[in-house]
């Protein structure tokens, strides 16, 4: 015989304002099987929980119904309390009389009647609940990190230092990401490479980090604790086991005028190249689009073209015939740290719905460059050796104008969000420029200065007060070539003046965008992303580094525009999440998963097609002589997310979700 | 949660929003419109000022401002506005509202031009440029400006001496009447005095 | 190719050379243009600056007539007329309330005819222009002037790009002439203020002409009668306030195409401009050997 206890929460005024909680408790006390019903101001408080514990002990309850907020808020709290009183936690259920009742209604009588109905609904269901025990699943205690920028490096190092093996996959030939291209970093002006390259080396030398550069994720199977990831190692054209990084091949390559991606097109590289001197690993890659030999092979020319690098290589490491290879790694957790791309100012766009700035003449007016190009110009490792010169004629620009919010906060070009760090890097650029060109003039057009962060606003003020950057609040309408100068037509909204400025160089502070192709990776991982391609976190405040797929975490600028400190903090947070998960031998998970009745299942596999997670597997039923009698469905409890799609699809009612059986649901519905 | 439209006070910005679907509150005052405005050096209100005054419901000053009549509708502001505020369309709407409320203070010349132009169309369906120029001069008082140009125009065969009338003239007049009525219906306070459509109709 | 033709008021008067040159080039380019019967003025700036519905209804009537007369496309050589027709098309297509008000006002169904500007039409015909060009214009440097209404507002843009259009340059290259690179090709000339606020027009048109001159242009090419009048007719007044004078012929794109096709300059209306085109024309060699210019009677 069921002995149900009903506990009605006022949630302060949240419920009590619209719902007569005392009336709900009184009405529920009369329901069949209910032996105890009370209301209380805050059921989630210690005294509130004690009411539940005491009632379980005194009234010998077989089920607990808490009429309060959403189960997303406090189901755990009340199930813990129930367990504490010696009752199976799955014999406690919540009914939501806040979000689904008091918050959305105004009529007190009707809302009270509805709260009673909702509570009766669950108290009928709970009579048919059975005790459940958490499921234990195996756990591969190794992690995969996707992306070798500062976020990925930090996550990999933290997890490896925590004692776990890490596989780090980077699609470029070298790790280091965008940070390796920066000159100096705000707000301290440390040299970016000086603080980054030790990390890169550490990753390379770490005994527990397996580094796969020039590689991409091909497919992801499995579930939390048991992922199986297929990785494509793109053909480098160079045998990594033989190459010693001497660089002879680069010096003999005849293709010397290929714009360098690392130098944002300002410098050149060869067809076989190491992207930058401190690259890790220091092994060259052959650019198949530009290598004469490979192009000749593709055209099936009889006579082998070029091949000078192979002749020059003393270790026989060059392999033009090399093909992509695949490796499969078993891991228990995945950290996504794929970073960002910069908004493209011109016509060419990689994302739909985004347009460029024809009015700013980027690509047609000389000496109009973007922020990353300025980083390379200002960088000691850059094409000008750190001397500030303009690209068109190599002269030192005496007046440089910086424009903020290029692409950012510009819905008419397709991006409405603020990229967050441009205000800071522009202030940094003005400082770097003024430190190197003392008689130069730095002018900034801005809309707002967003410099929240430790030492950030002070940094911007320093650029203005100490380094003499001139800030103009307004935007520029157009940029045109005027002789050797670049002419800007702008507006100073503070003085109310239209202004025409002739500059020697213009730097456009471009927005941060999600990486191209991030959607296909996200789909492989079953994680969701927003309209701009940024990976969605599980909860914007309370679960900022989890994704909606258990075991997959997110760090850095692939989640939203992030600067270095934010990215590093997020990366360490993911590492701490993963290490926490790996601190146990096996994983425990909620037992609300589907199960198959082996006797009645006919093996039609409607459930398999209905399952969005691929949790339904095929199970062979053998007869006594070991022959296959029939093939039926079986649910992989690790993969099942408890959505119930299979239960609806099954024609013979052979598959049911624990905690949500047909008997429970129908009993609840019949109570209404 | 946004405020339902019924609860919004009757502001000029609200009126503009009803008529154009554009929300003046979207302007974040970056000044890009005024940076590219070819008339900014001549007007006391620049496009971003107009949006600012709309946001603060400075109705009287806006509707009686000469500046809204100095907009060339070159649409540079609209093409480059980062937040798609469409200042050119909003200024159009303000001019219309000013006319309907009788608050308009267009410079005599510009008002004279618009009136003369529309009257021409109402009379013959097409523009008779010679007639337009004469009529404009009478209305603007700029009797001798460009007088020397007429012989040059005539000599080059660029001016017709008699207006050409279209067949569907009655239809054109009906269109003028219908549009004038439509405007009056959609405006709360209407003084039709300065409405060029009405004026033309009286004279026709 | 057969299309409807909406000359608008200017092409019957101040811009008659635009109409003349168009009449001369359509034949060689295999285009048949049929003037819309009983068209009325589009209302230009005056209508839409004072009564929004009137600014849509007047051009919508022309769209309706075009459809009734069996045209899918209407060529509107005047940029202002094109803009008003396109605005009406868009308003009727995108806003059912306006569409209903317009049809009520004009007492006709608007139909589905779409306007096309002369620049787009010629850009699409550029291969044919190149093929039929009889006269080398190689030494002619041309400043292509788009002005406002062909490209703005963005949603009515008939060309390839709002901020960096290339269609006029495509046509100019097809004639063999050289488009120069210059800054003011999208700036406003002062448009409809020609009569009512001449001082603004002079100021704005001056910067345009000076920039074209600075870029080394021999001739300025336009596709809008209003721009033409401001830059050509007002040029003398502008020159008075400009250092070093001003003497840049301003011609229509159709006239340049006509020259390349070997048509007679009188037939193309090149004698009707205020700034003499004589010195510019004298620099163009005659048609290539064996071919003669098709002289057309001047109307």
**Mean pLDDT throughout B77-81?**
95
**B167 pLDDT exceeds 90?**
no
**Residues in chain A closer than 8 A to C181 (CB atoms):** 481
Position C203 scores a pLDDT of: 93
Domain boundaries, given as residue ranges, for chain B: 5-101, 108-188
Chain A nearest-CA residue for B76: A477
- Confidence band, pLDDT 50/70/90 cuts, at residue C244: low
Beta strands of chain C (E only): which ranges? 2-5, 32-35, 73-76, 114-117, 141-144, 178-179, 219-222, 250-252
Which percentage of chain A shows pLDDT scores above 90?
A: 92
Average pLDDT, integer, range C140-165: 91
Lowest pLDDT segment from A73-82, B93-102, C266-275: B93-102
DSSP state of C202: H
Q: Please answer yes or no on whether C163 and A359 come within 8 Å at the CB atom.
A: yes
B32/A410 touch (CB, cutoff 8 Å), yes or no? no
- Tell me, yes or no, if A114 comes closer than 8 A to chain B by beta carbon: no
Chain B residue with Cα closest to C154: B79
Does the distance separating the beta carbons of A409 and B84 come in below 8 Å?
no
B83–A410 CB contact, under 8 Å = yes
3-state secondary structure at position A216:
strand
In this complex, the chains that touch B, judged by 3 or more CB pairs closer than 8 A, are: A, C
Residues in chain C within 8 Å Cβ distance of A502: none
Whether the pLDDT of residue B203 is over 60: the answer is no
Tally C-beta pairs within 8 A across B and C: 178
Q: Return d(Cα A517, Cα A271) in angstroms, integer.
A: 25
A246–B contact, CB cutoff 8 A? no
Task: Specify the pLDDT at position B131.
Answer: 73
**Mean pLDDT (whole number) for A39-56:** 96
Distance CA B57, CA B13 (A): 7
Determine the angle formed by the axes of helices A422-436 and A371-378, rounding to 10 degrees. 30
CA distance B111 to chain A (A): 27
Contact B84 A412 (CB under 8 A): yes
Q: Is the pLDDT of residue A535 over 60?
A: yes
Nearest CB to B145 within list C15, C49, C198:
C198
Q: List the one residue out of C52, A308, A584 whose CA is nearest residue B22.
A: C52
Contact A493 B30 (CB under 8 A): yes
Confidence band of A508 (pLDDT split at 50, 70, 90): very high
Which of B35, B37, B46 lies closest to A475 in CB terms?
A: B35
Chain-wide mean pLDDT for chain A? 95
ipTM comes to 0.86
A490 at B interface, C-beta within 8 A? yes
What CA–CA distance (Å, rounded) separates B82 from A476?
A: 11
More confident residue, A614 or A265: A265
pLDDT tens digits, residue range C271-290? 999 999 988 888 887 665 44
Predicted confidence (pLDDT) at residue C144 exceeds the cutoff of 70: yes
Instruction: List C-alpha distances in Å: B185 to A98, B92, C83.
Output: 47, 18, 27
Q: How far is B56 from chain C (nearest CA, A)?
A: 24
Q: Could you tell me the pLDDT band of residue B59, with boundaries at 50, 70 and 90?
A: very high
Give the N- to C-terminal CA distance of chain B in Å, as an integer. 52
Residue A556 pLDDT exceeds 70: yes
Asked if the model's pLDDT at residue B97 lies above 60, the reply is yes
What pLDDT, on the 0 to 100 scale, is given for residue C136? 76
In a mutagenesis test of the B interface, which of A355, A477, A488, A510 is the best target, namely the one with the most B β-carbons within 10 Å? Answer: A477
What is the pLDDT at residue A534? 97
Q: Does A219 touch chain B (CB under 8 A)?
A: no
pLDDT in tens, B26-40: 999 999 999 999 999
Q: Tens of pLDDT along A94-115?
A: 999 999 999 999 999 999 999 9
For the residues A522-529, what does the mean pLDDT come to?
95
Of the listed ranges A299-303, A390-394, B2-6, the least confidently predicted one is B2-6
Query: Are the C-beta atoms of residues A187 and A458 closer than 8 Å to each other?
Result: yes
Q: Which of B38, B78, B126 sits opposite C9 (nearest CB)?
A: B126
Q: Per the structure block, which two tokens stand in for A74?
A: 């406090």
Q: How many CB pairs under 8 A join A and C?
A: 14
Write down the pLDDT at residue C145.
97
Q: Which two three-digit tokens encode residue A88?
A: 């199976």
Q: In 3D, which of B128, B122, B183 has the Cα closest to residue B159?
A: B128
What is the reported pLDDT for B201?
A: 37
**Is pTM beyond 0.80 here?**
yes
A481 touches chain C (CB under 8 A): yes
Using CB atoms, pick whichever of B74, B113, B179 lies closest to residue C188. Answer: B74
Asked whether the predicted pLDDT for residue B193 surpasses 50, the reply is no
Residue C296 pLDDT more than 60?
no
H helices of A207-340, in order, are 248-252, 292-298, 308-312
| Backbone CA torsion sign across A204, A208, A212, A217 | negative
For residue A610, the SS3 value is: helix
Token output for B120: 């021409």
- Kindly list the structural domains of chain A, giving each domain's residue range(s) and its CATH number in brackets, ordered by start: 4-126 (3.40.50), 141-177+195-233+324-336+515-588 (3.50.50.60), 248-312 (no CATH), 340-513 (3.50.50.60), 590-671 (3.30.70.3270)
Name the most confidently modeled range: A41-55, C185-199, C243-257: A41-55
Tens of pLDDT, residues C62-103: 999 999 999 999 999 999 999 999 999 999 999 899 999 999
Tell me the shortest Cα–Cα distance from B134 to chain C, in angstroms: 11
pLDDT at A588 over 80: yes
Q: Do C183 and A358 touch (CB under 8 A)?
A: no
Residue C189's closest CA among C174, C201, C172? C201
Mean pLDDT value across chain C: 89
The predicted pLDDT at position C290 comes to 44
CB A70 within 8 A of CB A96: yes
Distance from CA of A360 to the nearest CA of C (A): 9
pLDDT score of A329: 98
* pLDDT tens figures, C29-61: 999 999 999 999 998 888 888 888 999 999 999
Beta-bridged to residue A491, according to DSSP, are A498
Return the partners of chain A (3 or more C-beta pairs < 8 Å): B, C
pLDDT at residue B139, as a whole number: 72
Q: Please name every residue paired with A347 in a beta bridge, in sequence order, or none if there are none.
A: none
pLDDT number for residue B9: 62
pLDDT band at A400 (very low <50, low <70, confident <90, very high): very high
CATH number for the domain formed by residue range(s) B5-101: 1.10.1060.10
Instruction: Determine which of A353-362, B30-39, B102-111 has the lowest per-residue pLDDT on average.
Output: B102-111
pLDDT band for position A13 (cuts 50, 70, 90): very high
The pLDDT tens digits for B120-139 are 888 888 887 777 777 777 77
Taking an 8 Å cut-off on Cβ atoms, the answer to whether B178 and C152 are in contact is no
Residue A482: list chain C partners with CB under 8 A: 183
Question: Given this model, what pLDDT does residue C196 score?
Answer: 81
pLDDT value at position B4?
A: 56
**Rounded mean pLDDT, B22-26:** 96
Instruction: Return the closest-CA partner of residue A425 out of A178, A196, A198.
Output: A178
Q: Please report, rounded to a whole number, the percentage of residues in chain C having pLDDT higher than 90.
A: 71
Instruction: Over range A210-221, report the average pLDDT.
Output: 96
């Amino acid at each position: 015989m069921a002995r149900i206890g009903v506990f009605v929460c006022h949630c302060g005024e949240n419920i009590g304002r619209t719902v007569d909680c005392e009336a709900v408790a009184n009405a529920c006390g009369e329901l069949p099987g209910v032996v105890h019903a009370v209301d209380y101001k805050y059921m989630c408080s210690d005294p509130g929980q004690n009411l539940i514990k005491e009632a379980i002990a005194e009234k010998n309850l077989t089920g607990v119904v808490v009429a309060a907020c959403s189960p997303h808020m406090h189901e755990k709290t009340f199930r813990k309390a129930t367990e504490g009183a010696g009752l199976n936690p799955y014999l406690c259920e919540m009914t939501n009389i806040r979000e689904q009742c008091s918050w959305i209604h105004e009529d007190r009588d009707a809302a009270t009647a509805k709260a009673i109905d909702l509570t009766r609904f669950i108290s009928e269901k709970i009579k048919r609940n059975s005790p459940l025990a958490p499921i234990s699943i195996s756990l591969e205690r190794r992690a995969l990190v996707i992306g070798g920028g500062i976020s990925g490096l930090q996550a990999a190092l933290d997890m490896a230092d925590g004692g776990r093996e890490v596989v780090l996959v980077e699609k470029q030939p070298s790790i280091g990401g965008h940070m390796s291209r920066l000159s100096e970093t705000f707000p301290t002006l440390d040299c970016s490479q000086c603080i980054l390259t030790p990390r890169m080396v550490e990753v390379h030398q770490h005994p527990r980090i397996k580094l796969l550069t020039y590689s991409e994720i091909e497919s992801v199977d499995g579930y939390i604790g048991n992922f199986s990831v297929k990785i494509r190692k793109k053909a480098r054209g160079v045998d990594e086991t033989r190459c010693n990084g001497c660089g002879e091949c680069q010096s003999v390559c005849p293709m010397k005028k290929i714009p360098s991606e690392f130098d944002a097109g300002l410098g050149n590289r060869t067809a076989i190249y190491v992207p930058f001197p401190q690259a890790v690993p220091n092994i060259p890659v052959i650019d198949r689009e530009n290598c004469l030999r490979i192009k000749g092979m593709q055209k099936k020319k009889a006579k082998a073209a070029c091949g000078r690098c192979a002749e020059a290589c003393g270790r026989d490491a060059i392999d033009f015939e090399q093909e992509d290879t695949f490796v499969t790694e078993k891991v228990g957790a995945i950290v996504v740290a794929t970073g960002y791309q910069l908004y493209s100012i011109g016509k060419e766009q990689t994302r739909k719905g985004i347009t460029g700035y024809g009015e700013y003449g980027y690509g047609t007016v000389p000496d109009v460059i973007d922020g990353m190009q300025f980083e390379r110009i200002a960088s000691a490792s850059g094409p000008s050796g750190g001397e500030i010169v303009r690209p068109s004629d190599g002269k030192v620009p005496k007046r440089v104008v910086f424009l903020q919010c290029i692409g950012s906060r510009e819905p008419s070009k397709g991006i409405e969000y603020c990229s967050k760090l441009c205000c800071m890097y522009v202030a940094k650029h003005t400082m770097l420029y003024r430190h190197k060109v003392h008689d130069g003039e730095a002018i900034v057009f801005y809309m707002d200065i967003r410099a929240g962060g430790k030492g950030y606003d002070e940094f911007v003020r320093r650029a203005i007060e100490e380094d003499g950057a001139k800030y103009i609040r307004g935007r520029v309408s157009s940029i045109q070539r005027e002789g050797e100068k670049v002419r800007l037509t702008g507006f100073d909204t503070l003085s109310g003046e239209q202004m025409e400025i002739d500059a020697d160089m213009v730097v456009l502070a471009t927005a941060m965008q999600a990486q191209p192709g991030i959607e296909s990776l996200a789909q492989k991982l079953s994680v969701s992303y927003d309209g701009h391609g940024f990976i969605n976190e599980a909860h914007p405040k309370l679960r900022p580094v989890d994704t909606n797929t258990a075991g997959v975490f997110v760090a850095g600028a692939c989640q939203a525009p992030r600067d270095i400190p934010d990215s590093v903090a997020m990366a360490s947070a993911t590492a701490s999440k993963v290490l926490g998960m790996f601190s146990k031998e096996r994983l425990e998970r909620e037992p609300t998963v589907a199960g198959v009745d082996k006797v009645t299942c006919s093996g039609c596999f409607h459930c398999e097609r209905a399952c969005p997670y691929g949790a339904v597997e095929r199970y062979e039923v053998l007869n006594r002589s070991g022959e296959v009698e029939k093939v039926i469905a079986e649910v992989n409890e690790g993969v099942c997310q408890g959505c119930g799609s299979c239960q609806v699809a099954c024609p013979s009612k052979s598959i049911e979700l624990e905690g949500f059986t047909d008997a429970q649901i129908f009993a609840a519905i019949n109570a209404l | 949660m946004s405020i339902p439209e019924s609860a919004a006070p009757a502001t000029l910005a609200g009126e503009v929003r009803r008529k154009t679907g554009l929300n003046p509150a979207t302007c974040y005052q970056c000044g890009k419109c005024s940076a590219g405005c070819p008339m900014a050096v001549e007007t006391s209100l620049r496009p971003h000022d107009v949006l600012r005054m709309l946001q603060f419901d400075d109705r009287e000053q806006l509707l009686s401002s000469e500046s809204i009549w100095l907009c060339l509708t070159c649409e540079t502001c609209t093409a480059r506005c980062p937040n798609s505020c469409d200042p050119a369309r909003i200024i159009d709407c303000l001019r219309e509202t000013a006319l309907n409320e009788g608050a308009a203070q267009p410079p005599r010349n510009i008002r004279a031009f618009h009136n003369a132009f529309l009257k021409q169309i109402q009379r013959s369906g097409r523009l008779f440029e010679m007639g337009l120029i004469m009529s404009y001069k009478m209305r603007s008082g700029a009797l001798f400006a460009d007088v020397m140009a007429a012989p040059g125009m005539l000599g080059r065969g660029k001016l017709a001496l008699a207006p050409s009338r279209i067949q569907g003239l009655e239809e054109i007049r009906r269109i003028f009447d219908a549009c004038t009525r439509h405007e009056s219906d959609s405006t709360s306070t209407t003084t039709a005095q300065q409405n060029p459509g009405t004026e033309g109709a009286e004279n026709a | 190719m057969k299309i409807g033709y909406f000359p608008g008021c200017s092409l019957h008067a101040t811009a008659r050379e635009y109409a003349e040159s168009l009449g001369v080039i359509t034949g060689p380019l295999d285009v048949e243009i049929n003037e819309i019967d009983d068209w009325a003025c589009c209302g230009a700036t005056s209508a839409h600056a004072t009564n929004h519905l009137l600014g849509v209804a007047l051009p919508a009537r022309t769209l309706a007539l075009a459809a009734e007369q069996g045209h899918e496309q209407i060529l509107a050589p005047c940029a202002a007329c094109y803009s008003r027709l396109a605005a009406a098309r868009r308003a009727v297509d995108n806003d059912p309330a306006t569409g209903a008000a317009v049809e009520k006002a004009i007492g006709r169904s608007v139909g589905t005819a779409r306007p096309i500007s002369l620049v787009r039409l010629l850009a699409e015909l550029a291969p044919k222009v190149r093929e039929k060009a009889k006269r080398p214009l190689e030494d002619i440097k041309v400043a292509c002037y788009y002005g406002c209404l062909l490209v703005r507002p963005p949603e009515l843009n008939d060309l390839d790009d709002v901020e960096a259009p290339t269609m006029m340059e495509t046509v100019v290259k097809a004639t063999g002439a050289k488009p120069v690179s210059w800054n003011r090709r999208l700036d406003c000339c002062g448009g409809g203020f020609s009569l009512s606020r001449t001082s603004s027009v002079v100021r704005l048109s001056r910067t345009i002409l000076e920039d074209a001159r600075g870029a080394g242009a021999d001739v300025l090419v336009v596709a809008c009668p209003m721009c033409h009048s401001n830059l050509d007719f007002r040029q003398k007044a502008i020159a008075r306030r400009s250092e070093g004078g001003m003497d840049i012929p301003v011609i229509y794109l159709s006239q340049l195409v006509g020259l390349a096709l070997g048509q007679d300059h009188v037939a193309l209306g090149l004698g009707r401009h205020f700034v003499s085109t004589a010195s510019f024309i004298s620099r163009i060699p005659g048609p290539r050997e064996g071919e003669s210019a098709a002289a057309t009677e001047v109307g």
